Amino acid sequence: MNKSQFIDRIRRTRAEGDALIAQMDDAQMVQAGISGEWSAKDILAHITWHEREMIKVLQARALIGSELWALPPDQRNDTIYEENKARPLQEVRDEARQVFALLWSLLESLSEEDLHDPYRFAEMPVDWQPWQVIASNTYEHYEHHIRQVRAWLTQEMPSP
């Protein structure tokens, strides 16, 4: 995976998710049921949390982040959900745009070597590839949730 391919995959997948969310009105965005009790708003807040974590890694050039990473994934996700479920939709949308804009600028500043050399990030295991850490918290994560939202929208929309 070279930088051009990597950046393009993030850009395309994020645009696909943004387009999917743009199809939804405010009522759909806050309607629970996509992943258990989660709404599209909750998924957007969840994705934004992961992007914020990647911002920390990129800014510090170190594998750092929230203590929530020490929790099992389901427990971490439940905590992120609880921390964000009462937030207003517009606040979540605004934050998502701001966080992604900052993440994007940091991603564009990476070199080819930054994406492939774990020694460029303190605390990163030597057998890890930085681009894979970022991918699992960006385009791979987007793809997972895009599938969930699409399935929910298909189920929610009445057949002709």
The conformation of residue 159, written as its DSSP 8-state character, comes to P
Residues in Cβ contact with 62 at an 8 Å cutoff, skipping those fewer than 6 apart: 121, 122, 123, 124
Backbone angles phi, psi at 38, to 5 degrees: -75, 150
3-state secondary structure of 122: strand
pTM score: 0.94
Residue 61: CATH number of its domain? 1.20.120.450
Share of the chain above pLDDT 90, in %: 94
Domain span holding position 87: 3-156
Q: How many domains does the chain have?
A: 1
What burial class does residue 2 get, using C-beta atoms within 10 Å of its C-beta: 0-12 exposed, 13-18 middle, 19+ buried? exposed
**What letter would DSSP give residue 158?**
P
Q: What pLDDT shows up at residue 95?
A: 98
List pLDDT tens digits, range 76-134.
Answer: 999 999 999 999 999 999 999 999 999 999 999 999 999 999 999 999 999 999 999 99
**pLDDT for residue 157:** 57
Q: What is the pLDDT of residue 54?
A: 98
